[in-house]
Amino acid sequence: MALYAKINRTTGAVIEYRELTDPVRAMHKEHVMLPMTRNAKPPFNADIEKLTATVTQPDLSNLAVDVSPTAERVEGWQVDTLPLATCKANKRAKVDALLAVKIAAGRVYSGNTYQIRAQDLTNITGIRVALLSGILSPHSGIWRSAANVDVAMNDVEFALFAANVMAYVRDLIRKSSAHKDGIDASANAAAVSAYDITAGWPANT
C-alpha cells in the first residue's frame, strides 16, 4: 500500500489522505486520487533561516483533460535565509536571554550566592548609600543569601560585598553590549550564526 491524496480538481485542495493499493482513476471526475510523497523536515537554523511548507502537484482544474498517470503530489519544505536585520535581531535576543540567565543565577561571593535582580540591586545600593551618608550606621547586621541563609556583615564587609556585586553586574551588562556590537558588525547571516555569544562573560566565583 502507498499513501494517496484525494484532490478536489477544481481547487487543488486535499480532501483526505488514504493508504491504498493502485486505486482506479475515473476519468473526468471532480476528485482524483494522486500518489504522494511527504518529505521529512530538513534541519535548519531558526536564528537565520525560515522553514516553509511547500506543495508540488500539477494543475488538475480542467476536467476535460485526463490526469496524467505519472501525476503526483509532493509535500516538502523550503529553507530560506532570513533578512540580515532579522538574523541579527534573533541573535541579539539570545544575548538578552543569556544575560537574564546569568542575572537569575545570582552572584557567588565568599562562598554564598546572592540574588542580583533589579530589586536586589536597589536594596543593596540603598543600604550602601545610607551607610556612606551616615543615615544608617553601623550596618553590623546580616544579608540574606539566595539560599535564605542570614550572613553576618559589618560595615566594611558590606561595602566590599556591595562593590563586588555592582562590579559583576556592570561587567555582565558590558559583555552583553559587546556581544550585541559584535553581532551588529557581522557582514552576513553565516557570520551571525557563527558568532559565539557564550564567550568572554565574567566568571561567577
pTM for the model: 0.79
Mean pLDDT, to the nearest integer, of 25-34?
86
DSSP string, the chain: -EEEEEEETTT--EEEEEEESSPPPPTT-SEEEEEEEEPPPPP--TTTEEEEEEEE------TTSPPPTT--EEEEEEEEEPPHHHHHHHHHHHHHHHHHHHHHH-EEETTEEE--SHHHHHHHHHHHHHHHHTSS----EEEE-TTS-EEEE-HHHHHHHHHHHHHHHHHHHHHHHHHHHHHHT--SHHHHHH--TTTTPPP--
Mean pLDDT, to the nearest integer, of 13-26?
90
pLDDT computed for residue 137 by the predictor:
63
Of 20-29, 46-55, 85-94, where does mean pLDDT reach its minimum? 20-29
Please write the tens of the pLDDT for every residue from 109-157: 999 999 999 999 999 998 888 877 777 666 567 899 999 999 999 888 9
pLDDT computed for residue 128 by the predictor:
84
